[in-house]
Amino acid sequence: MPKGQRIIVFLAVLALLLVGYFVFKTPVDALSNKGIVIMSSLIMLSFTTLLAEHFFTRPTDVVASAVSILLLLSPIQSELKDMGLWYWVFWGYSATLLILSLLALLLLSPEKSPVDPMNRASIILKTLAIRFGNGRFLWFTLFVLCVLFYVDSQSPLFIALFAYASVLLIIDPKKAIYSFRFLAPKPESAVAELFGIQSSSAYLAKVYPDSPPVKRFDVTGFISNAGGRERWIAGLVLEAYELNEQRWLKILTDDSFGELLEKTTMPESPKKGVVHLLEADSDLDLVGHLVGTVCEGATIEKLKFEYAFNISIQEGELLQVSCDEHNILYQVVEGTTGSETLESRNEAGFIIGEAVQLGIWNAETRSFDRYGWVPSMNSPVSKAETIEVPECLPNEYQIGNIPGTNFPVFIDRETAVTHHLAILGVTGSGKSVFARNLIRQIADDDTKVVCVDFTNEYGVKLADLIGDSLVQGAQADTMFTAIDIISDEMDKFPNQRNKPLIAAKEKELRDGFKAALQGFVASDNKAVLFELPDVANSAGILEYTKWFFKALFELAKARELDGKRVCIVLEEAHTIVPEWNFLGVDDKRSSAVVNSIAQIALQGRKYGVGFIVIAQRTANVSKTVLTQCNSVIAFQQFDRTSAEFLGNYMSSDYVASLTRLRPRHAIAVGKAFSSGTPMIFGVPEINEPEA
């Protein structure tokens, strides 16, 4: 019953009580203070039944009733001595309820977990207080005690008082009014009556006692004057639950629910405020895509929604919300559980999902445009499983899809090379297989790939793509001998070094690597493997690697690469370009290699040389090189350093997702991706050719 009607009923029963007082004025006045207690009990019984505890009892209601009773009884204890022990029993009972209620309120800590000992104690005390401290019970008990002890049971006053109490407790005026209303004929489809609006798209309704069962995602319709004009609205039952032995509905409506109007029929002459259960002509696509509704706490950047338990969703999936005739796309990044008190609904548990805004897909620019405002509360949130798929341009390659959708993620192959790309992820996340497949797509007539792999894995896994090694057999041994000679000379005192010999050997190294690189660029081979000689001299290996990169940079700077782009793949990058605090036994030589690669990373883009840096942990890789990577594909990561580094590329919500990413799932962000925003994507199953 709406509040206005309850106030009218309360005033009506007070008027009835006033009439009774004038009819029995003399015997009531003869009772003096006892009569005041009886009349006060009846007035408070009326108030509690119709207004204060209309739906349920709260601890604050128990406090109010107990305090009122104690203040009413305590000053006139001597006049109620005929009650004897019953007076003290009732007084003590009320005092105990007051203490329980106050303790329940004082122990409650909303900022703490529901399982906290203090909150658990509060819940127990609250349950006891509201179960045994219902206001109607307390005031009716006080009324009964006074009437039994001080009013003649054979008198008209006794009969009139008990008749009044019976109207309140047994007949219950508000239920009686409903019963009379139910006697009026109503359409068979009428199942409930509206009594509240939570937002422009969420309505609350109370189910008629004789209505058929109404369940979640049933279709309902009603007339509403929301927006200033009366119109027929069709909506979905989002929640159907029971409270205080009554059934309630939460109905979700939206301007985008045109399908409901198309597939249902409005009943004849519907009345305003009456909710009708409608039969859909066929299955509803809306129900199959509804994820939940926008809830409190949503921001421009992040959507928060209450999960409707209708369809399954997972991290990374694409959601959409309609705002001002735009479809705003979001990507799921988090989900948390929570609970509500049973006074507000019967389902204590719920799930709040979080999704980061991607924006409005712009097919012309092939990117997401940011939407600059938050969606309305209770707006429907749906799965975006099928959206307009952009075409793959000639310079692009599809690396995967957003999970659960047909929406592809493209990488610009040229930008990925010239502006450097980092592929990061722990062992087993799918990083290396993905990287090798990407290399197959990048390697073509205009881009030559040099794989620097000290694991000897690429020679096997990419055997169909990679030709001979860059420097082979005897030539490699000759060049490494030159490095040994240079190293021996550099170990001498400066005045004892054979400088012409050093210069000759350095020229031999420079010319050897340049010839090898020019030969590869001019050949039909698309990729080549940079292998190390089979030697145990770690210092010599570092020098060998340094001279390779020096020769490459000099060729690129002199524009002697035949107009081709060169992509250098650094597998297990921490072994080639380690961070300064992870340098090996010979820090100077390790530092020289890092500096040579860093020089290419900083300036190579101008000369057509780029990197693909593949690593497990960013902590072990030179930040001078990593920070030059304008695009990143991040698979699962656990270490804090990786999270801090990737925080420069993506929001904290995506960084938090790194530890939860499933195998063959990654986050793509950077210049090589046209979307303009980070995205979680799934990598398809990749079957590498057998060696």
For residue 254, the domain's CATH number is 2.40.10
Of the listed ranges 88-92, 297-301, 463-467, 533-537, the one predicted with least confidence:
533-537
Does residue 181 register a pLDDT over 60? Answer: no
Q: Do 558 and 466 share a structural domain?
A: yes
At 401 the three-state DSSP class reads strand
Contact 459, 453 (CB under 8 A): yes
| Total number of domains in the chain | 4
> Which residue, of 229, 255, 282, is where some domain finishes?
282
Query: For residues 523 and 467, what is the distance between their CA atoms, to the nearest angstrom?
Result: 10
Q: Which amino acid is at 530?
A: F
Of 38, 87, 96, which Cα lies nearest the Cα of 62? 96
Contact 421, 631 (CB under 8 A): yes
Q: Is 44 a member of any domain? A: yes
Mean pLDDT computed over 647-667: 91
Per-residue model confidence (pLDDT) at position 5:
62
Q: Which amino acid is at 163?
A: A
Q: Is 491 a member of any domain? A: no
Per-residue model confidence (pLDDT) at position 536:
47
Q: Is 604 a member of any domain? A: yes
> Which residue, of 144, 179, 214, is where some domain finishes?
179
Rounded to 5°, the CA angle 563-565-568 comes to: 145
Contact 333, 318 (CB under 8 A): no
Q: Do 59 and 21 share a structural domain?
A: yes
Task: Kindly give the pairing relationship between strand 527-530 and strand 466-469.
Answer: parallel
Mean pLDDT computed over 63-79: 82
Q: 645 vs 132, 430, 601, 652, CA distance in Å?
A: 59, 21, 18, 11
Partner residues linked to 194 by β-bridges: 205
Q: Do 439 and 557 share a structural domain?
A: yes
Which of 4-8, 69-73, 432-436, 590-594 holds the top average pLDDT? 432-436
User: Can you give the C-alpha Rg of the chain in angstroms?
Assistant: 39
Q: Do 587 and 550 share a structural domain?
A: yes
Q: Do 201 and 138 share a structural domain?
A: no
Query: Tokens 């075409």 label which residue?
Result: 391
Per-residue model confidence (pLDDT) at position 342:
43
Within 8 A by CB and 6+ apart from 691, the residues are: 460, 461, 463
Q: Which amino acid is at 593?
A: V
Contact 310, 298 (CB under 8 A): no
Q: Which amino acid is at 45?
A: L
Length of the chain: 691
Contact 204, 198 (CB under 8 A): yes
> Which residue, of 254, 282, 310, is where some domain finishes?
282
Does residue 352 register a pLDDT over 60? Answer: yes
Q: Given 3-state DSSP classes, what are the helix, strand and coil percentages for the chain, each rounded to the nearest 5?
A: 45, 25, 35
Q: Do 310 and 206 share a structural domain?
A: no
Q: Do 174 and 138 share a structural domain?
A: yes
Contact 502, 548 (CB under 8 A): no
* Domain, as residue range, for 154: 3-179
Q: What is the pLDDT of residues 259-269, one digit of tens each?
A: 898 888 888 88
Q: Do 7 and 41 share a structural domain?
A: yes
Contact 470, 531 (CB under 8 A): yes
Q: Which amino acid is at 306?
A: E
Q: Do 92 and 228 share a structural domain?
A: no
pTM above 0.75, yes or no: no
Q: What percent of the chain has pLDDT over 70?
A: 85
- Model confidence band, residue 277 (pLDDT cutoffs 50, 70, 90): very high
- Provide φ and ψ at 554, rounded to 5°: -65, -40
Of the listed ranges 301-315, 454-468, 556-570, the one predicted with least confidence:
454-468
Query: For residues 246 and 248, what is the distance between their CA atoms, to the nearest angstrom?
Result: 7
Q: Which residues of 627-644 are buried (b: 16+ CB within 10 A; e: fewer)?
A: ebbbbbbbbbbebeebbe
Query: For residues 641 and 344, what is the distance between their CA atoms, to the nearest angstrom?
Result: 44
